Structure 1
Amino acid sequence: MESRLRVQGHPIQPILVTCPFGLYVCATVFDLTDVLGGPGILGEVGYWTVVAALISSVLTVTAGMVDLWDVPANRTRRTVIAFNLLNAVMAVLFVFVCLARTGGSEPGVTGGLLVAEMIGLLIGAVGVWLGVTLVRQFDRNPGEAATFDALESASGTVPEGFGRPPRR
């Protein structure tokens, strides 16, 4: 399987997944601190962090849909669909949390919404695990080029005098 969306040979979606998931984790930490008696500003920071995560989730899901076109109909396709669905379910849970917080006078979080955020993170963690297994399965260049010979085979040529004697 070769992803259509690539940057320097690496698929974009696994890179994009880290952004919303990291933002969801940060938002949950801010909200947990707010619920445990931290400064009230942390609830608002948590709210806006969720908003940023939702925006980045849209980009991630879009990249996932583009990549899904190239996956052959087999077990791998089911894994890719499950990966994308879990990430979408996580985002939907956070949409509900965000909407519930928007309806109140302050964007702080309640205990019930914090539990919903934690459930979303658990679902997202399973999605990230599936994504890691997919990357390991399809990564054709599992490591960085460790030698100049590897660089030469990857890029075609190495400039003369760049770390090794000139060719004769």
Structure 2
Amino acid sequence: MESRLRVQGHPIQPMLVTVPFGLFVCATVFDLTDLLGGPGILGEVGYWTVVAALVSAALAVAAGMVDLWDVPADRTRRTVVMFNLANAVMAVLFVFVCLARAGGPDRGASGGLLAVELLGLAIGAVGVRLGAVLVQRFDRHPGEAPTFDALGSAAGVGVEGPAHPTRS
């Protein structure tokens, strides 16, 4: 499977998915802290963090739809569809949370909304796992070492030391 949307040879969509998931986790932590008696501002911060996550999730879903066109109709397609579906369901649950909180004076979450957020994160974790499987399966480039040594050689530093030793 070759993604149409790539940066430096790596597919964009798996990178984009991490942003909303991380923001959803942060929003849930803010809401949990707010519910446990933290400063009232944390409810507002949690709300706006969900809004930012939903914007980034829309970008990830758009990239996922572009990539879906090139997936062959086999087991891989099922995995890609499940990956995108898990991320979309997570986003829909957080849309519900966001809409329920929009009318509140401090936009803080209730215990029920926190439970919906936790369910969304659990579903999102399944999506993250499926994304990791897809990246491991398809993001291998010929001659690329799957170790940290590959990062050193890309920066001009190999196992032997710097590629260009300094003059004394």
What's the TM-score bracket when you normalise by the shorter of the two chains? 0.7 to 0.9
Q: Give TM-score scaled by structure 1 length.
A: 0.86
- 2:120 counterpart SS class: helix
Which residue is equivalent to 1:157? none
Matching of residue 37 in structure 1 with residue 40 in structure 2: no
Which residue is equivalent to 2:25? 25
- 1:3 counterpart SS class: coil
Give the unaligned 5+ runs of structure 2.
155-161
Which residue is equivalent to 1:93? 93
Q: Give TM-score scaled by structure 2 length.
A: 0.86
Aligned pairs (5 A) from 1:128-143: 128-141=128-141, 143=146
Which residue is equivalent to 1:4? 4
Give the unaligned 5+ runs of structure 1.
152-161
C-alpha distance after superposition, 1:63-104 (max 9, x if no partner): 000000000000100110000000000000000000000122
Which residue is equivalent to 2:16? 16
* Separation of aligned partners in 1, 2:49 and 2:104: 17
Which residue is equivalent to 1:155? none
Equivalent pairs, count = 152
* Separation of aligned partners in 2, 1:105 and 1:163: 59
Which residue is equivalent to 2:68? 68
Aligned pairs (5 A) from 1:44-123: 44-123=44-123
